Chains A and B, each alone.
Chain A
Amino acid sequence: MIQSMDTKYAYAVSRIRVIEQQMLSGNVLQRMIEAESAEEAFKVLKEVNYGFSANDSSVFDYERILNEEFDKVYQLLMEIAPNPEAFDLFFIKNDYHNLKVYLKAELSNQDVHNQYLAKPSLYSPAKIGDMFRERVFADLPKIMVEAIGACFEAFSKTADPQLIDIIMDQALYRHMSALASKLGNEFISQIVTINIDLANLKIVLRTKLINQGWDFLEQFLIPGGSFGIDFYQDLFEYEFKDFPKAYAETQYSQLAIASMESYKYTDSLAGFEMLCDNYLVNLLKQTKFAIFGIEPLVTYLLAKEMEIKNVRIIMVGKINHLAQDVIRERLRETYV
């Protein structure tokens, strides 16, 4: 169990404990899955007041409603957290996403459409747009500026847009690690480390699936996780069925066994990605009884993100008339 003595969060944690009650339970998600049509499933979202404008939207606006709901979480945290900047590292991925959009638009001479931009971000997309026009990035953090520079340089040599993704993803994780170590909170560092470890495992699995070599893989690997480059070099030589052995002594041993089991039966990595999400949710559950500290707030943010992911899975499934069981299989564990 995770316990903190940081009493400055006393107000915020209590408020979160009340608000948590309104998170969608497994029952509500079941009701959505069992709804006769996508419209009926959407009605459930209206009932629970999802987003800001669900009542005057149609089922095809669900994506906007989900974004609004996440915006609500962001605004709440900014309002109640004694130090809102502690949450920067959880929103900075949207900045990196936006930077990628601008970079790719810039390098292919296209305009940026608002629909591709992610919210909420630390730097407003409009401001980033201005920076790209003037080519002055001085206001951004150093890691971002360096990554942008590296992208321009790499692109001028090879003109391969995939390089932008590689450079930006690595910079994102480096940035998250840097912000986490500045905070010095064990729980948050743990989350960042787990994210890096699982992202790296995902990269290894995908590289093997598309039959690429170590040289290809090496450039994608993200530094800063629990394992060094040697670990992945060894791992890369293993067959999928032997992966659990490599992780046997680590916290991921169960996850590795279950993932490879799921891969064996389904021949896809969807099961693995679901297990990764469930792994995180189970970590979050450790903060359920914490009375002070930032942890319950972080948990709310990430649990809410997971909830929105679940609702998205259901809505996509309902709109595409998927069978109920198929949707249910893809659902992530719920926090509440």
Chain B
Amino acid sequence: MEFLQGDLIGTILAVLGAAFAFVLTGIGSSRAVGVAGQAGAGVLTEDPDRFVPVMILQALPSTQAIYGFVIAFLIIGNIVTGQPLDFGSGLILFLASLPVGIVGYASAVLQGRVSVAGIHMVAKQADSMIRGVILALMVEMFAILSLIISILIIGKA
């Protein structure tokens, strides 16, 4: 456990933050897109013509993983090889991963449920995709806000 006192502690915290941001949002989006995909397959088994609206609705909850990826990328960008981060900067970068990681995970899973409901709407009426997309995008807003907060925190590192 020597490294905890050493020069590397700041860098390790930052790397942990990057991993945290992507792992959580990645799991959230995978779960959501996965379940929406199952629901989509159910509709497409009966009616293959509805592929486009079903695919769009399925893809919506994948954005959280992209936000997590962006934050992870920005955090890693702050780490310069050979120049260890100080403890304060490392901690700030770690904390920056929390908003997008936690809010991203929750909003992905919940947006997935709205996507499934939207796919059921498409199952009933082929032209209801836009309404389903808008309902799902309401959940998206919170993921976007968490992304912005995470970016602002990184700026303070």
Q: Which residues of A contact B (CB under 8 A)?
A: 7, 10-19, 21, 80, 289, 291-292
Contacts and interface: CB of A to CB of B under 8 A. Distances in A.
Interface in B39-84: 39-43, 45-47
A81 to B, nearest CB: 12
Nearest to A289: B117
A128 to B, nearest CB: 35
B156 to A, nearest CB: 38
B45 A15 contact: yes
Given A19-B46, A291-B113, A291-B116, A14 B123 contact: yes
B124 A14 contact: no
A244 to B, nearest CB: 38
Contacts of B36: 10
A18 B46 contact: yes
A13 B39 CA distance: 7
Given A17-B123, A291-B116, A12 B42 contact: yes
Nearest to B45: A15
Contacts of A11: 38-39, 41-42
B35 interface: yes
B120 A14 contact: yes
A142 B83 CA distance: 74
Nearest to A22: B46
A289 B46 CA distance: 19
A10 B123 contact: no
Contacts of B124: 17, 21
Interface string B14-40: 000000000000000000000110111
Contacts of B120: 13-14, 17, 291
Given A7-B35, A21-B124, A14 B116 contact: yes
